[in-house]
Structure 1
Amino acid sequence: MPYNVKLDAFEGPLDLLLHLINTYEIDIYDIPVSVISEQYMNYIHTMKELKLDVASEYLVMAATLLAIKSKMLLPKQEADPIDQQMGFEVEEDPREDLVNRLIEYRKFKQAALHLKEKEAARSLVYTREPADLSAFGKNEETVNPVSNVTIYDMLEAMQKLFAKKEKNLPKRTTIERQEIPIELRMSQIINELRLENGRKRFSELFHHHNKEHMVVTFLAILELMKTKEITCNQDGNFSEIFISVTGEK
């Protein structure tokens, strides 16, 4: 049976488009549709390669981007001043509707972030004297398994690995099918990390050319993140992602 994973980190196609716009420092009012649609499709293909559940709304957005791209390729007719004065419709920018949706989505996302910060600040306010809880022992600090790494960073790292492995494949090779259980690969990853003082580069965990092995490794990493057995850190955009065992440095 295929091992399917659905990630809650995806908030929808508009969220993915905003991520691409911010990553590539694109002006939201003048989106280069050709570039953004190519990057968007790369993410969709990578999600399918990893057998992740791709919601239909992502495919609808992909079709929308391709439709806008096609309209942008058509020759533009210059607006006639006489037609404008007489109230005839002037050809609109095919990106206008998408830009408006992105701007509205960004407003709501920023508002949600602001409310979340308010919620976090309010959760620190207490209306009673602190009770003596020494008898219950110290609660372990909750560890964020993804730290400053987003699911888009993980997918981008996998895109680079796929491209690098495919480039280095020999022209002739013997294909051997080898089934690797997710649980076994999870245990192997933990052991590999502990042999390297509990920390290793994301790319170093993919030391096999076999695509099935790479996919199983990626899914095992996601499962370990979900169970908070490992943490992921990234110093900045496009920099290397580091995987470490939770609680070990």
Structure 2
Amino acid sequence: MNEPYQVKLDGFEGPLDLLLHLINQYEIDIYDIPVAQITAQYMDYIHTMQRLELDIASEYLVMAATLLALKSQMLLPKQEIEETDEEYMEDPREELMQRLIEYRKYKEAAQKLQDKEREANQIFTRPPVVFDHHDIRQPVGKGDLSIYDMIDALGKMFERKKWHEPLETKIENSGVSIEERMTEVLDLVKHSTEGLAFDRLFEYPSRSHIVVTFMAILELMKNNEVTCEQEHHFDQLYVFYRTCNGQ
């Protein structure tokens, strides 16, 4: 009997990271968060992860419940307050807003430290040497797309292909390993000089095919063998082959 896939991704940093990603993506004012909109977008991500039976940490589900509670609270009719009443009505979004601002501050500080570390890793000292030829290769970055961008692209692919529910009821091993699918994907991308549309890598509406392909793309990105790019937010994603010089 085929054993089900156990899918766990390492790119998730927590629900605050996902919320911050959504705020940046939709250019939302962090001091005036539209709870209904952010809740709908957040739940879309959770539903996409659940459809793939990804290992979702409980903190994501706790945040989902918090957002739904906030949404309900914001929909309740506001009590009229007399002008003489000096009681301060706290915005129910206040706590979430403060948590996000604090998280963003530490995330930006961590990014600056990471950039400094990356720059330091490119500095070497050695005795003077004469170069006979110019074969100096520059380091290649892994791109700006995060795991959330990839999940968003996957969710939009479901909608475009009208795959509201994959045909299989559970993820079963189809006989193709992630390593084999990586080879297949790489071969397809190599022959697409202008980039291969993300959707074209998902040919069959079965969870096994979708999950193995998705994991294969993530592994290829991690190994710096392919890069995923989109011209603007919400545009179609394209997968490009990365040669040694990053072209």
Q: CA-to-partner distance for each residue in 1:19-44, whole Å, 9 max, x for gaps? A: 11111111111111111001001101
Q: Which residue of 2 aligns with 1:242?
A: 238
Structure 1 distance, partners of 2:214, 2:203, is: 12
Q: Which residue of 1 aligns with 2:225?
A: 229
Q: 1:79·1:90 contact (CA, 8 Å) conserved in 2?
A: no
Counterparts of 1:106-185 in structure 2 under 5 Å? Answer: 106-125=104-123, 128-130=125-127, 143-144=140-141, 146-166=142-162, 179-181=174-176, 182-185=178-181
Structure 2 distance, partners of 1:192, 1:202, is: 11
The one-letter code sitting in structure 2 at the alignment partner of 1:116 is Q
Structure 2 distance, partners of 1:200, 1:37, is: 32
Structure 2 distance, partners of 1:125, 1:229, is: 25
Q: 2:67 aligns with which of 65, 68, 74?
A: 65
Report SS of the residue matched to 2:162. Answer: helix
Report SS of the residue matched to 1:61. Answer: helix
Report SS of the residue matched to 2:84. Answer: helix
CA positional deviation for 1:159: 0.8
Structure 1 distance, partners of 2:119, 2:92, is: 42
Give the TM-score, by structure 1 length: 0.80
Closer/same/farther in 2, CA of residues 133 and 11 from structure 1, 3 Å limit: farther
Give the TM-score, by structure 2 length: 0.81
The one-letter code sitting in structure 2 at the alignment partner of 1:115 is L
Q: Which residue of 1 aligns with 2:184?
A: 188
Structure 1 distance, partners of 2:204, 2:163, is: 13
Q: Which residue of 1 aligns with 2:28?
A: 26
The one-letter code sitting in structure 1 at the alignment partner of 2:183 is S
The one-letter code sitting in structure 2 at the alignment partner of 1:107 is K
Q: Which residue of 2 aligns with 1:217?
A: 213
Flag the structure with higher helix content: 1
Q: Which residue of 1 aligns with 2:89?
A: 91
Structure 1 residues not aligned, in runs of 5+: none
The one-letter code sitting in structure 2 at the alignment partner of 1:15 is D
Closer/same/farther in 2, CA of residues 147 and 54 from structure 1, 3 Å limit: same
Q: CA-to-partner distance for each residue in 1:179-212, whole Å, 9 max, x for gaps? A: 2423332222122223334942212212334444
Closer/same/farther in 2, CA of residues 8 and 183 from structure 1, 3 Å limit: closer
Report SS of the residue matched to 1:244. Answer: strand
What percent of counterpart residues are identical?
50
Aligned residues: 236
Closer/same/farther in 2, CA of residues 74 and 118 from structure 1, 3 Å limit: same
Structure 1 distance, partners of 2:150, 2:159, is: 14
Report SS of the residue matched to 1:232. Answer: strand
Larger Rg: 1
Q: CA-to-partner distance for each residue in 1:9-61, whole Å, 9 max, x for gaps? A: 22211111111111111111111111100100110111122232211111111
Q: 1:3·1:51 contact (CA, 8 Å) conserved in 2?
A: no
Q: 1:20·1:36 contact (CA, 8 Å) conserved in 2?
A: yes
Structure 2 distance, partners of 1:23, 1:204, is: 24
Structure 2 distance, partners of 1:245, 1:204, is: 15
Q: 1:40 aligns with which of 23, 42, 45?
A: 42
Let me know the Cα RMSD of the aligned residues.
3.1
